[in-house]
Amino acid sequence: MSQLDLLLVNPCGRRQIYQDLGNELTAVEPPVWCGFIATYMRNKGCSVKIIDAGAEELDFNEVAKRVKQENPRLVAMMVYGHQPSASTQNMPGAGETCKAIKKLLPDQKIIISGTHPSALPEQTLREEEVDFVCDGEGPITFLELLQVMSSPKPDYSSVKSLWYWNGDKVSSNPPALLIKDLDKEMPMMAWDLLPMEKYRAHNWHCFGDLQRQPYASLYTTLGCPYHCSFCCIQAPFKAGEKGIGMKEEVNSYRAWSPKLVVDQMELLATKYGVRNIKIEDEMFVLNEKHVIGICDEIIARGLKFNIWAYSRIDTVRDSMLEKLKKAGFNWLAIGIESASKYVRDGVDKSFGKKDIKEVCDKIRNAGICIGANFIFGLPDDTMESMQETLDMAIELCPDWANFYSAMAYPGSALYKMAVDKKWKLPETWIGYSQHSYESLPLPTDTLAAGQVLAFRDEAFVKFFTHPRYLSYVKERFGQETVDHIHDMLKHKLARKHAA
């Protein structure tokens, strides 16, 4: 029996990242990049398996024992998160898992990949117990590395997008080009390698019918053309963009064909009984032809889903909404960020307050629920502007609201700004988690980080206990959902830095 070529690992750490919210309330999402890369490698003739330590709730030592059992030529530690910007908070779990593997199997080769390692490749190589770091999207690098490892004396200098030790010095190679033909190279996630029974939807995704399993998430596009300064999702693609001659200020944006996307969704429905689906794309409601193409395929096949996807205020078009609802897009998550146009302009997100209300009204009139995202502590925020944002959230009364504190995620323009200006950043990577005990957001010119964090936590409670919101939820979703919200609020986050 031949040796396994590649073992992809999705690290654990949900408890540390979310405190006790991770027990029942948070989603448990399939590791999308593990699934796509597994398909790519299989298509190239490699043998692949996946360990989803998060879903299976394996501790570091249990993962190491599984690695020993599988005996792969290469372990790939994949560091991504629930949302595209949430890679960094998974680094502690990834790092501890690598340590456990190396302690048990000192000679096991490990490569680490993902948004955070792509943003800080040299630092990651120096800090973590790994042999290699990938600063690109991964598939080409993994394949070339396995090919080189077959040699008695491997020469790593030919492996694209690879960082590695050359004696006592760090070496890095030219970038791997971005994969152009997604339909051909990564047509579908390797669902058969994942513990599909373990995944569950976000609680709010199932308001009105709190059956959160089965569940799946998937990409229909990669990348985002926008440049919000707090976002780091483009980090795994920047090396590849440079390799094909794209300008630094331009972001790549690639798509799977609507037919192939819905082929995958139909498989999820028929083989795994999945109805609840998250579209993982950072910006799904963008290209009208792509969006309508997917909706038409779902409708034509008679598939029934409960789907949510990301959008922006300035990308929602009237012509899309009816089709989205008919296809089962029951939720759109919209980044409003701040009520203050001045604050939004400061992070390259420009639209007016009138636009926000008009678009929300259009979405709601189409029968689609709104998940509104707000951020406190953006660089130009004051206590007054944060209160204005909370007041707007209560006035808009979306079906769900996410309240975040501004974080300078590695790979974002905000991180570069924070480093240049020597702003205080979290001492450990877990401090980049919005819900962790160690969470430490950015300060502003007028507010300490602890003030921002305390305001965020208080805002969450004020919004979800507001009589207007609870009355609306009861009317729209029923008393069971209201009771669920009351139960949710019993979970209090402990904070080290809240003022």
Do 130 and 211 reside in the same domain of the chain? no
User: Does 280 lie in the same domain as 162?
Assistant: no
Provide the token pair at 77. 């530690």
Residue (of 216, 48, 62, 65) closest to 138 by Cα position: 48
Task: For residue 177, give the DSSP letter.
Answer: P
Domain count, the chain: 2
- 0.85 exceeded by the pTM? yes
Range of the domain at 38: 6-172
Distance, in Å, from the CA atom of 283 to the CA atom of 314, rounded to the nearest integer, reads 11
Q: Is residue 182 part of a domain?
A: no
163 and 262 belong to one structural domain: no
Alpha helices of 397-496 — where are they, by DSSP H?
413-420, 449-464, 467-477, 479-488
Amino acid symbol at 355:
D
The number of residues in the chain equals: 499
User: What CATH number did the domain enclosing 18 receive?
Assistant: 3.40.50.280
Residue 249 domain-assigned?
no
Query: How far is residue 299's CA from residue 268's CA, in Å, rounded to a whole number?
Result: 16
Residues in Cβ contact with 291 at an 8 Å cutoff, skipping those fewer than 6 apart: 284, 285, 320, 323, 324
Domain end, chosen from 135, 154, 172, is at 172
Transcribe 311-323 into DSSP letters. E-TTT--HHHHHH
Contact between 20 and 491 under an 8 Å Cβ cutoff? The reply is yes
Q: How far apart are the two ends of the chain, measured CA to CA in Å?
A: 59
**Same-domain status, 158 and 204:** no
Residues 208 and 77 in one domain: no
Give the Cα separation of 395 and 41 in Å (integer): 50
Q: Spell out the residues 6+ positions from residue 155 whose beta carbon is closer than 8 angstroms to its own.
A: 148
Based on the fold, state whether residues 385 and 468 are members of the same structural domain: yes
Report the chain's C-alpha Rg in angstroms: 22
Extract the tokens encoding 408. Answer: 């300078």
Are 157 and 165 in contact by the 8 Å Cβ rule? The answer is no
Cα–Cα distance for residue pair 432/89, rounded to 1 Å: 5
Q: For residue 1, what pLDDT is reported?
A: 67
List per-residue pLDDT tens for the chain, 499 residues long. Answer: 689 999 999 998 888 888 888 888 899 999 999 999 999 999 999 999 999 999 999 999 999 999 999 999 999 999 997 666 679 999 999 999 999 999 999 999 999 999 999 999 999 999 999 999 999 999 999 999 999 999 989 999 999 999 999 999 999 999 999 999 999 999 999 999 999 999 999 999 999 999 999 999 999 999 888 777 778 878 888 888 888 888 887 888 899 999 999 999 999 999 999 999 999 998 899 999 999 999 999 999 999 999 999 998 888 888 899 999 999 999 999 988 887 776 766 555 555 667 889 999 999 999 999 999 999 999 889 999 999 999 999 999 999 999 999 999 999 888 998 999 888 999 999 999 999 999 999 999 899 999 999 999 999 999 999 999 999 999 999 999 999 999 999 999 999 998 7
Burial (Cβ within 10 Å: 0-12, 13-18, ≥19) of residue 354: exposed
Phi-psi region of 32 (alpha: psi -120 to 50; beta: other; left: phi over 0): alpha
CATH code of the domain containing 358: 3.80.30.20
The reply to whether 128 falls in a domain is: yes
- Give the pLDDT score at 458: 98
In a domain, residue 320? The reply is yes
Q: What are phi and psi of 164, to 5 degrees?
A: -160, 165
Q: Which pLDDT does position 27 carry in this prediction?
A: 92
Residue 248 pLDDT: 80
User: Considering the domain boundaries, does residue 401 fall inside one?
Assistant: yes
Residues 162, 33: Cα–Cα separation, whole Å: 18
- Based on the fold, state whether residues 161 and 307 are members of the same structural domain: no
243 part of a folded domain: no
pLDDT in the model for residue 410: 93
What's the pLDDT at 85?
65
Residue with tokens 């889903």: 305
Residues 6 or more apart whose Cβ sits within 8 Å of residue 110: 74, 75, 76, 77, 98, 101, 102, 129, 130, 131, 132
- Classify the phi-psi angles of 441: left when phi > 0, otherwise alpha if psi is within -120 to 50, otherwise beta: beta
Give the helix/strand (H/E) hosting 445: none
| Largest pairwise CA distance in the chain | 70
Q: Is 148 a domain residue?
A: yes
Q: What angle do CA 6, 11, 16 make, to 5 degrees?
A: 175
**Are 268 and 315 found together in one domain?**
yes
Residue 238 in domain: no
| DSSP-assigned letters across all residues of 261-308 | HHHHHHHHHHHH---EEEE--TT-TT-HHHHHHHHHHHHHHT---EEE
Residues 135 and 211 in one domain: no
Name the domain boundary from 172, 190, 210.
Answer: 172
- The region that residue 431 occupies, defined by phi over 0 for left and psi between -120 and 50 for alpha, beta otherwise, is alpha
Count CB atoms within 10 A of the CB of residue 3. Answer: 9
Q: Where are the alpha helices (DSSP H) in 59-176?
A: 60-70, 91-104, 115-119, 121-127, 139-149
Residues 145 and 216 in one domain: no
CA distances in angstroms from 366 to 315, 352, 362, 370, listed in the order given: 16, 22, 6, 11
Contact 217, 30 (CB under 8 A): yes
In this structure, are 348 and 279 located in the same domain? yes
Query: Angle, nearest 10°, between helix axes 318-326 and 288-301?
Result: 30
**Shared-domain flag, residues 320 and 455:** yes
